Amino acid sequence: MEFVTYEIEGQVGIVTINRPKALNALNSQVLDDLNEVIDSVDTDAVRCLILTGAGEKSFVAGADIGEMSTLTKAEGEAFGKKGNDIFRKLETLPIPVIAAVNGFALGGGCEISMSCDIRICSDNAVFGQPEVGLGITPGFGGTQRLARLVGPGMAKQMIYTARNIKSDEALRIGLVNAVYTQEELMPAAKKMAAGIAKNAPIAVRNCKKAINDGLEVTMDEAIVLEEKLFGDCFESYDQKEGMAAFLEKRKVEAFLNK
């Protein structure tokens, strides 16, 4: 991959958008590389992903304005679909994804972070959806995920004003879960990912599916989803080992994802 790197540390995968000279802006090639990397993740061996950007200045500074500036209506819609399809693939991966947001997360950068399950950021992080200042709307899910995460009122304010917010405000409104120094960010992401990875993988996956799918339906439908996913955990090795360890007052030997 020219613009996206993928490393595995134990049971944690680290995806890095690596175009620092352009502040990791998303052009078609970056999106293609990202799509290929997501497809290559072995979700049986890897139990949690971390997504970050190369360098300390920028997570992802947005989509590539130079590339977008000459698009026709049809090409603009197709570009939006390309980004949305890839971000949706990331969002619906069976394993959890943590966004470690270092520096700028603007436009497509804010949008890709919102496609992850959990967002943590550095104290120099800046979030925003600046699109209306460029004559367009957010096109990679920003109008949808931001409203779901921080509420329609706050999302509309951020999107209509095109005003950026700093890490402390992102934490206050619930856009991120925690703020760290730049030096602490990746160690904190790796520690969280390792904590997730040591838990029962079938259970973690079923929790992700229950939360994500349940948010899209009524409560009556959602609890039926939960019942099925709850029941699905039983008769697995991991369920038997987890409960046996508890009853025998010992530590789990290992969760085997089966």
**Residue pair 239/200 in contact by the 8 Å Cβ criterion:** yes
Residues 6+ apart with CB under 8 A from 143: 137, 155, 159
Q: Which of 156, 149, 193, 197 shows the shortest CA–CA distance to 171?
A: 149
DSSP per residue, 88-115: HHHHT-SS-EEEEE-SEEETHHHHHHHT
Active site residues: 111, 131
Phi-psi region of 42 (alpha: psi -120 to 50; beta: other; left: phi over 0): beta
Helix (H) or strand (E) holding 41: none
SS3 125: coil
Q: What is the residue whose two structure tokens read 């599916």?
A: 209
Q: Say how far apart CA 170 and CA 203 lie, in whole Å.
A: 30
The runs of H, that is alpha helices, within 126-258 are: 142-150, 152-161, 167-172, 182-197, 201-214, 219-232, 237-247
**On the CB side of 79, how many CA atoms lie within 13 Å of its CA?**
23
Neighbours of 244 (CB within 10 A): 12
Which residues, listed in sequence order, are joined to residue 37 by a DSSP beta bridge?
none
